[in-house]
Copies of this chain bind each other. A is one copy, B any other.
């Protein structure tokens, strides 16, 4: 039994169905502060619904990315990470600081207004200049965290 939270309509609008696995995955993404990989999500979901398989997690994430609900990140450690996009998350717009040694990730929001202003300006110019329809951006810093600096 599925409670219609608006997600139902959103899925139907794209020709998809809102199923229990999909709802469970959305629930995990909505209630985390972390940067989860597909397997991370699988493990959480699996506790409550042992029947849900890893394949379904991957498939659902693909759909959510395609729907613009989720953004797929690569932090360079060989697995993708998934976060709800700004519009669907309670987290504020932020970027990432990534430790290349231990893969620790810190969210930051410093200068975020300046950033957004610049990103917006750049986005406008680039769309026109290259006839590109820009759907997202990514910005991150790499380095060594406190612990890994030695």
Q: Which residues of A does B touch, CB under 8 Å?
A: 72, 74, 76, 97, 99-100, 106, 108, 110-111, 114-115, 118, 121-123, 125-127, 129-146, 149
Whether the pair A130, B106 counts as a contact (CB closer than 8 A) is yes
Whether the pair B137, A139 counts as a contact (CB closer than 8 A) is yes
Contact of A110 among B106, B129, B136, B142 (CB under 8 A): B129
Whether the pair A143, B132 counts as a contact (CB closer than 8 A) is yes
Contact of A146 among B108, B111, B130, B142 (CB under 8 A): B130
Copies of this chain, complex-wide, total 2
- Residue among A74, A114, A132, A137 having the largest count of chain B Cβ atoms under 10 Å: A132
Contact of A136 among B130, B134, B141 (CB under 8 A): B141
Contacts of A122 in B (CB 8 A): 108, 110-111, 115, 141
| 8 pairs, CB–CB < 8 Å, chain A vs chain B | A97-B132, A100-B135, A106-B130, A111-B122, A133-B143, A134-B141, A137-B139, A137-B141
Contacts of A149 in B (CB 8 A): 131, 133
Give bound CA distance, A110 to B134, whole Å: 15
Contacts of A100 in B (CB 8 A): 135
Give bound CA distance, A141 to B127, whole Å: 10
Contacts of A125 in B (CB 8 A): 110-111
